[in-house]
Structure 1
Amino acid sequence: MHRDYSGDQYARIARALSNELGVAQTHDSATRTALQIVEGCDHAGISLVSKRGKITTVGPTDDIAVRADQLQYETGEGPCLQSIREQDTVYSPDLSSEERWPRWAPEVASSLGIRSALSLQLFVGPDAMGCLNLYADEPQAFGLDDRVSAHALAAHIAVAMTAAADQANMDSALVNRTMIGQAEGMLMQALQISGDQAFAAMVRISQHRNVKVSRVAEEIVKKGIHPDLFD
């Protein structure tokens, strides 16, 4: 039986996702929610594509979701990869007779017991994209109403993931600025130089080592001013 979710209910889901503290918690909450609201869904995970093209699974609900995703990455085929490449939703009602992915489909059907798969692309920012992967142990698991529910959920998940990543970047930037300020103060005191000179010194060290200024500042704060710092 299809679970009928109204606009108000989706709004509550969106608020719940946005209230998660951290990127990983948002991923976990998103996939758990998919199990709850998409009828027939037995396993779920999110595939994320990095700027360099590497794909990883986050927030899996179980080991079956992890392995189903991993087999796609290993074989280079499957609903998730097709969804990402074609920027579209991809559905297979019965993997035991699926011909689009001749290596992936028979393997997950026989070894993992997965019979239906639904992958929906997630737009999670200008530098990242992903896919919500829903798997079912029964064939014909995702009817039209279920696919509509999954589409609505995917849209909310994408917004929540983008917000969580933005917050994480802001938190990281704040920590870096604080660390750099502390390192500047330590250099100023130890070397009797100005703040501009202290920052310039860290920039020179970062360029010489080919690392970020924040990494140099972290080393100074944790290890102090030592001779190897300027080698």
Structure 2
Amino acid sequence: MVANGAGPDGNDDARDASEDSQRTDEVTGEKDQNGEMEGLAEQMSELARSLQVEDDPQEVLAHLVRAAIELVPGTDEGSISVVTGRRDVQSHAPSSDLPQKVDALQSETKQGPCLDAVYEHQTVTVPDLASEQRWPKFSRKAAELGAASMLSFQLYVEGDNLGALNLYGRTPHAFTEDSEQVGLLIASHAAIAFADATKLGHMRDALRSRDVIGQAKGILMERYGLTAQNAFIMLTQASSHTNIKLLDVAEHLATTGALPSHRRRS
């Protein structure tokens, strides 16, 4: 008697069972991968919807940083860094003191990913800051602060000015290829949101300036019986005589009821 699975027929049965098992594993793997992609797509859609209803520029940026920390594998901290003149680095919406300190360190040492590589590349990975040789002074001190890994995404470049989404891991080699792929998706949203937030901030500043100058003109018009045009001329003359910005002159008048009378030292 031939034991079950033995002999030629038994070998065929075993081979068929192995092939069936392999196909099942492949199908299961594809389903898992598809499920992950669908889940990520849903999260990105939710992020986009939440950004559409948010009108505070800083809160938009903070929302993006929180999303990056939640969605990008290996991320512990994050911020959006703004570099001006390839010299000064400032943190916007930092998740903790760590990103702020690391950005300050880049300004202090005049080296680091935001002052170098991110100008040239869309994505910069720093697997282990403790052994990183591209920016030795910066890397060593950043590691001492508690940043073990970095992942930076370029948001925009305008001449010598730059914006970047910086993510930090507190362990070496925290970021993977998946981290880069998901990070690039979020960075694309961040680039648009950052531009919109900047425009919104400028718009609000312009509206505020218009309102303050309008209040100051109204005070002068009522007090001296001036037209709107002559009241504006009076404000500009006060600005010129005192060497104080027009908006500051208007704000001083609107809050105190008087024009500034002393020339500001330059």
Q: Could you tell me the TM-score, scaled by structure 1's length?
A: 0.86
Q: Is residue 14–residue 160 contact of structure 1 (8 Å, CA) maintained in 2? A: no
Correspondence for 2:44 among 1, 6, 10: 10
Report the CA distance shift for 1:55/1:29 in structure 2 as closer, same or farther (over 3 A). Answer: same
- Structure-1 residue corresponding to 2:218: 185
SS at match of 2:133: coil
What are the residue-to-residue correspondences of 1:1-231 with 2, within 5 Å? 4=37, 6-50=40-84, 54-109=88-143, 111-123=144-156, 129-225=162-258, 228=261
**What residue ranges of structure 1 are gaps of 5+ in the alignment?**
none
What RMSD, in angstroms, separates the aligned Cα atoms of the two structures?
Answer: 2.8
Deviation at 1:87, TM superposition (A): 4.8
Q: Is residue 183–residue 218 contact of structure 1 (8 Å, CA) maintained in 2? A: yes
Cα distance in 2 for partners of 1:131, 1:77 equals 15
SS at match of 1:228: coil
Superposed CA offset, 1:37-94 (max 9, x none): 1000111112112469532112111122222222222112222222343253211122
Report the CA distance shift for 1:78/1:140 in structure 2 as closer, same or farther (over 3 A). Answer: same
Code of the residue aligned with 2:133 in structure 1: it is E
Q: Is residue 78–residue 168 contact of structure 2 (8 Å, CA) maintained in 1? A: yes
Deviation at 1:8, TM superposition (A): 4.4
Identity %: 36
Deviation at 1:114, TM superposition (A): 2.8
Q: Is residue 124–residue 162 contact of structure 1 (8 Å, CA) maintained in 2? A: no
Deviation at 1:105, TM superposition (A): 1.7
Bigger mean CA deviation after superposition, 184-193 or 51-60: 51-60
Report the CA distance shift for 1:54/1:183 in structure 2 as closer, same or farther (over 3 A). Answer: same
Bigger mean CA deviation after superposition, 83-92 or 154-163: 83-92
Cα distance in 2 for partners of 1:197, 1:129 equals 42
Report the CA distance shift for 1:51/1:92 in structure 2 as closer, same or farther (over 3 A). Answer: closer
Q: Is residue 165–residue 187 contact of structure 2 (8 Å, CA) maintained in 1? A: yes
SS at match of 1:103: helix
Cα distance in 1 for partners of 2:140, 2:261 equals 57
Bigger mean CA deviation after superposition, 76-85 or 49-58: 49-58
Cα distance in 2 for partners of 1:106, 1:52 equals 21
Deviation at 1:36, TM superposition (A): 0.3
Superposed CA offset, 1:115-163 (max 9, x none): 2211111128799531111111222222112101111111111211221
Cα distance in 1 for partners of 2:86, 2:101 equals 22
Q: Is residue 86–residue 160 contact of structure 2 (8 Å, CA) maintained in 1? A: no
Cα distance in 1 for partners of 2:263, 2:247 equals 16
Report the CA distance shift for 1:129/1:227 in structure 2 as closer, same or farther (over 3 A). Answer: closer
**What residue ranges of structure 2 are gaps of 5+ in the alignment?**
1-32
Aligned positions, number: 229
